[in-house]
C-alpha cells in the first residue's frame, strides 16, 4: 500500500528552468519521531495514513506518494550581502502541493532528503538536531500567531550524517504556503530572463496576492506582509539569524529556522548566529535588513514594473509601514488600546530600561502590571520611574485593570522556545529520549495560557545553561 495525497502541483507546471525534477534518495531505516496530527487534519490529510509504514516511508523519501512530482527548486540570493547567482534546494525536495478542503494551497517539502544538482559541497542531508529545532520553533511561532512555515513530521533515517562528528540523520516535512523567495526572482532577473520573471510573477500573484495589479502590486503586497512579519518578530524578541534574500519569502511566512533564537535577556543588538561575525542580522537590524532585501526584490521586478519611480516609492514606504505595525504590536504589549503622541517614546524608554537592567524580554512583558515586574530589572528604580509614567498614560485608557491585564496576556506569551530548552530536548533526543521534545511542543502549543505544569519552561537559563550561539542547520 502506498500513500496517496491530494496533490495538485502548480509549481511543477512552470517552465523546466524553474527546477530539476528528481526523487528523494532513500534512507536505511525510517522511524517516526513526530507527526503533527492537527496540522495534518487542517491540510485534509489522514494522520493515521501518514503514521503508517507506507506513510513514514513517504515522509523519509523512501516512497513517492501517489500524485507527487518531486523536484528541487532553483533560486539565487544575497548571503550576508554577497551575491550567489545560483543556490537552490540543496537538501530539500518539493513533493508537490496539497489543496485543503477550504481551498488553500500548501507545499509539502522534505528537508534532508538527499543531494540535488544544487547541493554544491553539501551532502543533501540534515541531522536530528536542526530538524527538532525547526519542528519546535516553527510550531511555536504558529501558536504565537506569527506567519510561518509549519512542521508536519520529523523522521529519523537510521543513517549517520557527518558534521563535527557522526550524528543521527533525519528528514523534516515542511509545509509552506509556497517556497517562493526573494532569491527566486533574483535568479531569473540576473539572467535577464523576462519570460520567466513574468511566469513567476503570475504564479506568485495567484498564490499570494490574488487581484494584485501586476508586478508592482505583488511588490507592494510583499512589502506589507514583511513589515507586519518583522514587527511581530520584534514584539517577541525573535532573531531570525540568517536573513539572506533566499531566506525571505514572498508569502510573508517566516522560513528557514537555522541559527534563530528568542532572546532571554534583552539587548537591541543581540546576535546569535555563529557565522554572523559582523552582526549584520542582529535583532535591532532586522527591519533595515528586511528593507534592503525588499529593495533587491524591487530591482529584480524592475523589468516588469517598467519605471523605477513607483518601485522606489513602494520601498520608501516600508519604514512607515513597519513603524505603524511595530507601534500596534508594542502598544498592545503595554496594554494601550488608544493612541497618544508619546507612546513610541514611552515604549522605547521601557526597552532602554530593560537593556540597562538586563531584563528577560519575555518575562518582563508577561509580568507588566503585576508586582513582580520590577524584579525582572537589575535597576528596580529605573523600572519604578518608568512604571509611574506608564500609570499616568494608562489613566487616559477606559479599560479596567483586569481587562487590560487579560488583553496583555493574549499578546505577551509566558512560554517561548528558549534556546537552552531546545538544546536540552535535542540532547535527550539524540540519546533516544524524545520526552523533553514532546513536552516542549505540548507546552508551546498554548503560549499565552497560564503555564500550569510547564512553569519551569518560563525560567531563563542559569549561567551553566546559557547557549551563547546557535548554528546553521547544515
Contacting ligand AMP within 117-156 (CB under 6 A): 118-119, 122-125
Judge whether 376 and 360 are in contact, CB under 8 Å: yes
Strand 31-35 to 150-162 pairing? antiparallel
**Residue 253 touching Mg ion (CB under 5 A):** no
Smallest separation (angstroms) from ligand AMP to the CB of 471: 11
Smallest separation (angstroms) from Mg ion to the CB of 260: 12
> Which residue number, 466 or 472, has a Cβ lying nearer to Mg ion?
472
What are phi and psi for residue 20, nearest 5 degrees? -120, 125
Reduced to 3 states (helix: H, G, I; strand: E, B; else coil), residue 279 is coil
Q: Which of 76, 242, 351, 359 is close enough to bind ligand AMP by CB under 6 A? A: 242
Size of the site for ligand AMP (CB under 6 A): 19
**Residue 256 touching Mg ion (CB under 5 A):** yes
Reduced to 3 states (helix: H, G, I; strand: E, B; else coil), residue 435 is helix
- Cα separation, 5 vs 50, in Å, equals 10
> What cell does 17 get?
528552468
Q: Which residue, among 237, 233, 113, has the nearest Cα to 173 in the 3D structure?
A: 113
Candidates 1-9, 88-96, 194-202, 352-360: pick the segment binding ligand AMP (CB under 6 A): 88-96
* 91 contact choice in ligand AMP, Mg ion, none (CB below 5 to 8 Å, kind-dependent): ligand AMP
**Residue 47 touching ligand AMP (CB under 6 A):** no
> Which residue number, 69 or 123, has a Cβ lying nearer to ligand AMP?
123
**Residue 455 touching ligand AMP (CB under 6 A):** no
> What cell does 393 get?
498614560
| DSSP one-letter code for 259 | S
**246 a catalytic residue:** yes
Smallest separation (angstroms) from ligand AMP to the CB of 235: 24
Smallest separation (angstroms) from Mg ion to the CB of 77: 8
Q: Which residue in the list 246, 256, 264, 276 is annotated as catalytic?
A: 246
**Residue 90 touching ligand AMP (CB under 6 A):** yes
> What cell does 5 get?
495525497
> Which residue number, 247 or 412, has a Cβ lying nearer to ligand AMP?
247
Cβ-closest residue to Mg ion?
Answer: 256
Q: Which of 30, 61, 88, 129 is close enough to bind ligand AMP by CB under 6 A? A: 88
In the block, cell 506582509 appears at: 225
Q: Which of 76, 87, 215, 291 is close enough to bind ligand AMP by CB under 6 A? A: 87
Smallest separation (angstroms) from ligand AMP to the CB of 124: 5
Candidates 95-103, 240-248, 332-340, 437-445: pick the segment binding ligand AMP (CB under 6 A): 240-248
Judge whether 69 and 206 are in contact, CB under 8 Å: no
- Cα separation, 168 vs 236, in Å, equals 32
> Which residue number, 20 or 474, has a Cβ lying nearer to ligand AMP?
474
Strand 150-162 to 77-79 pairing? unpaired
Q: Rg (Cα) of the chain, in Å, rounded?
A: 22
Using CB atoms within 10 A of its CB, is residue 281 exposed (0-12), middle (13-18) or buried (19+)?
buried
What are phi and psi for residue 34, nearest 5 degrees? -155, 140
Contacting Mg ion within 228-247 (CB under 5 A): 247
**Chain length of the chain:** 474
Binding mask 133-152 for Mg ion (x = CB under 5 A): --------------------
Smallest separation (angstroms) from ligand AMP to the CB of 474: 4
Smallest separation (angstroms) from ligand AMP to the CB of 244: 6
Q: How far is CA 37 from CA 1, 33, 46, 133, in A?
A: 21, 13, 8, 18
Strand partners, 78: 83
> Which residue number, 36 or 247, has a Cβ lying nearer to Mg ion?
247
Q: Which residue, among 320, 407, 414, has the nearest Cα to 367 in the 3D structure?
A: 414
Q: Which of 89, 139, 220, 387 is close enough to bind ligand AMP by CB under 6 A? A: 89
Smallest separation (angstroms) from ligand AMP to the CB of 162: 10
- Those residues whose C-beta lies under 8 Å from the C-beta of residue 113, and which sit 6 or more positions away, are 24, 25, 61, 91, 92, 93, 124, 171
Judge whether 43 and 150 are in contact, CB under 8 Å: no
**Residue 107 touching Mg ion (CB under 5 A):** no
**Which residues are near Mg ion by CB under 5 A?**
247, 256
Active site residues: 246
**Which residues are near ligand AMP by CB under 6 A?**
87-91, 118-119, 122-125, 242, 246-247, 256, 258, 472-474
Amino acid at each position: 500500500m502506498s500513500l496517496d495525497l491530494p496533490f495538485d502541483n502548480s509549481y511543477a507546471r512552470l517552465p523546466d528552468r524553474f527546477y530539476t525534477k528528481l526523487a528523494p534518495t532513500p534512507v536505511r531505516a525510517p522511524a517516526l519521531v513526530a507527526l503533527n496530527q492537527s496540522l495534518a487534519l487542517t491540510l485534509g490529510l489522514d494522520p493515521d495514513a501518514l503514521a503508517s509504514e507506507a506513510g513514514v516511508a513517504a515522509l523519509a523519501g523512501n516512497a513517492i506518494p501517489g500524485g507527487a512530482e518531486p523536484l528541487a527548486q532553483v533560486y539565487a540570493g544575497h548571503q550576508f550581502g554577497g551575491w550567489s547567482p545560483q543556490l537552490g534546494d540543496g537538501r530539500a525536495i518539493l513533493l508537490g502541493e496539497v489543496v485543503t478542503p477550504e481551498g488553500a494551497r500548501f507545499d509539502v517539502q522534505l528537508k534532508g532528503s538527499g543531494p540535488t544538482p544544487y547541493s554544491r559541497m553539501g551532502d543533501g542531508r540534515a541531522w536530528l538536531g536542526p530538524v527538532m529545532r525547526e519542528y519546535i520553533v516553527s510550531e511555536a511561532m504558529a501558536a504565537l500567531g506569527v506567519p510561518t512555515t509549519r512542521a508536519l513530521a520529523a523522521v529519523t533515517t537510521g543513517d549517520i550524517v557527518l558534521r563535527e562528528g557522526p550524528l543521527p540523520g533525519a528528514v523534516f516535512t515542511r509545509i509552506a504556503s509556497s517556497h517562493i523567495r526573494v532569491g527566486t526572482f533574483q535568479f531569473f532577473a540576473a539572467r535577464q530572463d523576462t519570460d520567466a520573471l513574468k511566469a513567476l510573477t503570475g504564479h506568485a500573484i495567484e498564490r499570494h496576492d490574488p487581484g494584485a495589479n501586476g508586478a508592482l502590486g505583488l511588490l507592494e503586497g510583499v512589502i506589507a506582509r514583511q513589515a507586519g512579519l518583522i514587527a511581530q518578530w520584534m514584539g517577541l524578541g525573535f532573531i531570525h539569524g540568517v536573513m539572506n534574500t533566499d531566506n525571505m519569502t514572498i508569502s510573508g511566512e517566516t522560513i528557514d529556522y537555522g541559527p534563530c533564537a528568542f532572546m532571554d535577556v534583552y539587548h537591541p543588538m543581540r546576535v546569535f548566529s555563529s557565522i554572523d561575525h559582523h552582526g549584520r542580522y542582529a535583532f535591532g537590524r532586522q527591519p533595515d535588513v528586511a528593507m534592503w532585501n525588499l529593495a533587491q526584490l524591487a530591482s529584480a521586478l524592475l523589468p516588469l514594473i517598467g519605471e523605477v519611480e513607483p518601485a522606489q516609492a513602494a520601498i520608501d514606504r516600508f519604514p512607515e509601514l513597519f513603524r505603524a505595525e511595530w507601534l500596534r504590536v508594542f502598544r498592545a504589549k503595554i496594554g494601550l488600546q488608544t493612541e497618544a503622541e508619546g507612546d513610541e517614546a514611552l515604549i522605547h524608554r521601557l526597552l532602554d530600561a530593560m537593556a540597562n537592567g538586563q531584563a528577560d524580554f519575555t518575562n518582563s512583558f508577561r509580568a507588566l502590571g503585576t508586582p513582580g515586574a520590577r524584579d525582572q530589572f537589575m535597576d528596580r528604580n529605573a523600572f519604578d520611574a518608568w512604571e509611574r509614567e506608564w500609570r499616568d498614560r494608562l489613566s487616559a485608557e477606559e479599560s479596567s485593570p483586569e481587562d487590560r491585564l487579560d488583553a496583555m496576556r493574549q499578546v505577551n506569551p509566558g512560554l517561548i522556545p528558549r534556546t537552552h530548552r531546545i538544546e536540552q530536548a535535542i540532547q535527550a533526543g539524540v540519546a533516544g529520549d524524545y520526552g523533553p521534545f514532546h513536552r516542549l511542543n505540548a507546552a508551546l502549543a498554548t503560549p499565552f495560557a497560564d503555564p500550569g505544569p510547564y512553569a519551569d519552561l518560563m525560567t531563563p537559563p542559569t549561567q551553566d545553561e546559557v547557549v551563547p550561539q546557535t548554528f546553521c542547520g547544515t
